[in-house]
Amino acid sequence: MMQAMNQTTTRLNGQLMEREPLARYTSWRVGGFADRMYKPSDIEDVQNYLRSLPSDESVLWLGLGSNVLIRDGGIRGSVIYTRGCLNQMCETDDGMLYVEAGVPCALVAKLAAENNLSGAEFLAGIPGTMGGALAMNAGAFGGETWGLVNKVLLVNRQGDLIERQAAEFDVGYRSVSVAKDEWFVACYLAIPAGGNQQSREKIRQLLVKRAETQPTKIASGGSVFKNPQGYHAARLIEELGLKGKQIGGAQVSEKHSNFILNTGDASAEDIERLIEFVKKEVQQKQGTLLQTEVHILGEALEQ
């Protein structure tokens, strides 16, 4: 398989790495090796890379590495890494924002404010890229990504680009219907006109609130559980006195109980065990089955 890939890499403009440790690319700072990681130069390069792969090669996309827990055994197949790569962003002639998948959400909020567009300020509170935000309908402070989306560009497993309108997707709370082996590479956002200064001030206030209520200066994966309808996952966890609960190097945050922290030496297994412990406690004692918002990926480390 590697021989087949090596024959095609001369046509690629990105960077291909083998046996790359994923802990350095995830916000939890855990995760085993990827068989291959590819950092593309642009969307066309992504298309070429996908076309170069054997048909049975699995593909995972990774941006800022938040909202994912990669197990200690790592990822078999290819990881396409978009941070700092698919980073084009501009205002179009018809007043929309064109944003590629590797652009951090916070930069989208900043550009919208600079262009006197109002309504994207909540993106400043999402610690991920637009690709991830599109894939899960990420939200913060009452706003959700797909409330801004007009249309999207996707690439499929064969390397073909596909344009779809927002109305073609079934979008819900932290969920978006996407065809198997199709991935978001860019989007067009329709954001209403507004005031530059008001948007900047709102972003500042949201970031202050985030810093006051969430553990932003220690490794975590973001919110671990989805909020049950009509309630908050954090409240259910807190009511059971689970703030500070620790397994190995993983700890339920004292500041916000829907965050699990890597206190310095956690393994992915520690974090996953703590997630399962919290789920079991809440289900047995509160009668609510929490659903994970973070995606748990890869293989466990062989004992």
Q: What are the residue numbers of the active site?
A: 174, 223, 293
Distance CA 274, CA 121 (A): 33
Bridge partners, residue 250, by sequence: 247, 262
- What are the b/e assignments for 136-156, b being 16+ CB within 10 Å? bbbbbeebbbbbbbbbbbbbe
Which among 215, 217, 216 has a CA at the least distance from the CA of 244?
215
For the CA atoms of 179, 181, 186, 190, the dihedral, rounded to the nearest 10 degrees, stands at 10
Distance CA 239, CA 133 (A): 30
Which among 26, 88, 81, 19 has a CA at the least distance from the CA of 49?
81
> To which H or E segment does residue 132 belong?
helix 130-136
> What tokens does 18 get?
């083998």
Which among 303, 287, 299, 292 has a CA at the least distance from the CA of 260?
292
* Sign (positive or negative) of CA dihedral 205, 99, 149, 82: negative
Please give the order of strands across the beta sheet that includes 260-262: 246-247, 250-252, 260-262
Q: How remote is the C-alpha of 246 from its chain's centroid?
A: 25
Q: Got the DSSP string for 158-180? A: TS-EEEEEGGGS-EETTEE---T
Q: How remote is the C-alpha of 162 from its chain's centroid?
A: 21
